[in-house]
Amino acid sequence: MTMLQATPSAADALQGSRSAWSRLPLLGRYPATHVFLAAALYVFFAVFLIWPIVQVVATGFVSKTGGFTLNYVKLIFQSHVLVEGLRNAGLVAVLVTLLTLAISLPLAVLSVRFDFPGRGLLSGLLLVPLVLPPFVGALGMRLVLSRYGPLTQLVGAGDGLGIDWLGLHRLAGIVIIEALHLYPIMLLNLQAAMANLDPAMEQAAANIGASRWTIFHRITLPLIRPGLFAGCTLVMIWSFTELGTPLMFDYITITPVQVFKLITDVSDNPLPYALVVVTLIASTLLYLIGKVLLGRGFDAATTKASTAATSHRLHGWKAALVAAPFLVVVLLAVIPHIAVVLTSLTATGSWYKSLLPASLTAAHFRAALVDELAFPSIVNSIKYASLATALAMLVGLGTAILIVRSRLPGRGLIDALSMLPLAVPGLVMAFGYLAISIWFKRKLGESMPVWLDVQRNPLLLLVIAYAARRLPYVVRSAVAGLQQTPQDLELAAANLGASRFTVLRRITVPLILANLIAGGLLAFAFAMLEVSDSLILAQRTEHFPITKAIWEISQRLEDGLYLASALGVWAMVLLTLTILSANAFMGRKLGAIFRV
């Protein structure tokens, strides 16, 4: 009887709690699914983006007694070697940015203003550097720039001691290799900015007698400033913290390599953390400067075109003259790729004091598929990248839905957090995940789960790191798809009684499937060849991904360089296929993925 009397009371209490919950201001004004999705995303970003950064910063500023200290940062600026590393990193970033701008700005103007035979093909070839990270490109250039290598033979200095290109011009080589890899990011931003210009403004300036230079300087440049500084910011931060190229060129007096070299003492020495903190602060300042100069968002800063922009069709010698810069840049950009391919085909020791290899072989490709380190690394990378892509697509789809389809007050913050990996250097994020693993080890000791210990099994942290780093590509791709897809079909399905999950599964996802696949393919491709996370988090040979295996194999004597190049070519083929597939799905919209 007591239970019978208690039941209505419990039911009334439950009903009252539901009514009170539904009357909450946030849930009363916005769909509960959007609110819960936003909460889940905030948790994801807090744990997997903010917490790693906080761990690095905390360790760099916390003394061994637990108090706040600046002693570790002071030690950095008291060390001549570390200060020189920071100065060199800043110099590389500035020079790479200027060089990419010098390459990309003329090409962007020519590609938007003029139409000529083969423009589509040449524009596609300009994206070739995205196929191969500079880390692998530097591998091929090591042999080309060796003392008795092809470049020495080309300039006719093969006798005597030859020319020590890497010893004399190591910094210049790093700048050139990185610029030839990163200019497509600058180019895509500039092309998109120029395509959105209102030609009426330039025509009005020309009608009142302004010269071409005055129009470009006073009208065009200010209007493309958002794309200009978006590209500059991305390139500068990327090149400032690039680890692979200087590491492959054995350039140790630069901050990213110094951090990598100090990693062996990371559990006991807070100095590497402090150095990463200084790197993060410098990168953040670069990003903030870009955002301040950018002023407004990309779309807000460009005017709606009152007339359609047209390109001038060229033929004959004029078309050849305009196409010439495209050909020159393409030829320069593929040099590292050609060098890697030739090195992989060269018989061991047969490319010496000659312009071309004396003997070619395909044995290195076969060896890369049976090598005890190389082949497992391919399997590991496919596993890590696949899991990371699935996670990135899941989080990216939820983020895009909130950004485009919801009216939640915090959706702008969610958008900014999803783009955070573009602003935070990969080196910092990788060190952050390593710091999290060490934090758990200190807290849990021997009872620490294997999947949290990066030394025993880095699978979980590598997958999360890969997914977080490549999340912006999926988000931007999904956002582009949702923005171009009318909401009418989703509303119609909802009016017929379909649940939100059914609408998502049967309507939304099929409509933007091409965009999701394109973003997922790019996330998979770049995760396969991720450098910073792979080099820092994978610490045992059985867990090495491709990039860590390439680095380790390249250090072997005799055939190490050739076998590593063959492994790099296998990775390059895979990345080429995925980027071509993404381009087939997205076409010209591919550039939107590389914007901030």
Chain segment 472-521, per-residue pLDDT in tens:
888 888 887 888 777 788 888 888 888 878 888 888 888 888 778 878 87
Cα(573)–Cα(546) distance, integer angstroms: 13
Kindly report which listed range (176-185, 310-319, 323-332, 448-457) carries the lowest average pLDDT score: 310-319
Q: Give me the mean pLDDT over the 568-579 stretch.
A: 77
Q: Which of 3-12, 243-252, 421-430, 575-584 has the highest mean pLDDT?
A: 243-252
Which pLDDT score is estimated for 24?
A: 41
Closest listed residue to residue 400, CA positions, set 352, 466, 449, 471: 471
Q: If you average pLDDT over residues 408-415, what whole number do you get? A: 85
Q: What is the DSSP string of 98-160?
A: HHHHHHHHHHHHHHHHEE-TTHHHHHHHTTGGGGS-HHHHHHHHHHHTSTTSHHHHHTT--ST
Least confident range from 24-33, 122-131, 363-372: namely: 24-33
Specify the 3-state DSSP secondary structure of 270: coil
As a whole number of angstroms, the distance between CA 557 and CA 506 comes to 56
Better-predicted residue by pLDDT, 26 or 124: 124
Residues shown for the chain: 596
- 118 vs 120: CA distance, rounded Å: 6
Tell the residue number behind the tokens 């395509």, with chain if given.
Answer: 195
d(CA 93, CA 254): 11
Rounded to the nearest integer, the mean pLDDT of the chain is 79
C-alpha 578 chain-centroid distance: 15
pLDDT in tens, 288-300: 776 676 544 434 3
Q: What is the pLDDT of residues 62-100, one digit of tens each?
A: 777 767 888 888 888 888 999 999 999 999 999 999 999
Hey, CA dihedral for 42, 48, 53, 54, is it positive or negative? positive
CB-based contacts of 400: which residues, under 8 Å, 6+ apart?
A: 475, 478, 479, 481, 482
Q: What is the mean pLDDT of residues 333-358?
A: 85
Q: What is the pLDDT of residue 8?
A: 44
Band of pLDDT at residue 391, cut at 50, 70 and 90: very high
Nearest to 571 by CA among 142, 139, 100, 145: 139
Predicted local distance difference test score (pLDDT) of residue 338: 87
Element (H, E) at 313: strand 312-313
Contact status, residue 352 vs residue 148, Cβ threshold 8 Å = yes
Phi, psi of 73 (to 5 degrees): -65, -40
What pLDDT is attached to residue 387?
Answer: 94
pLDDT for 252 beyond 60:
yes
Q: Which residue has the higher pLDDT, 399 or 32?
A: 399
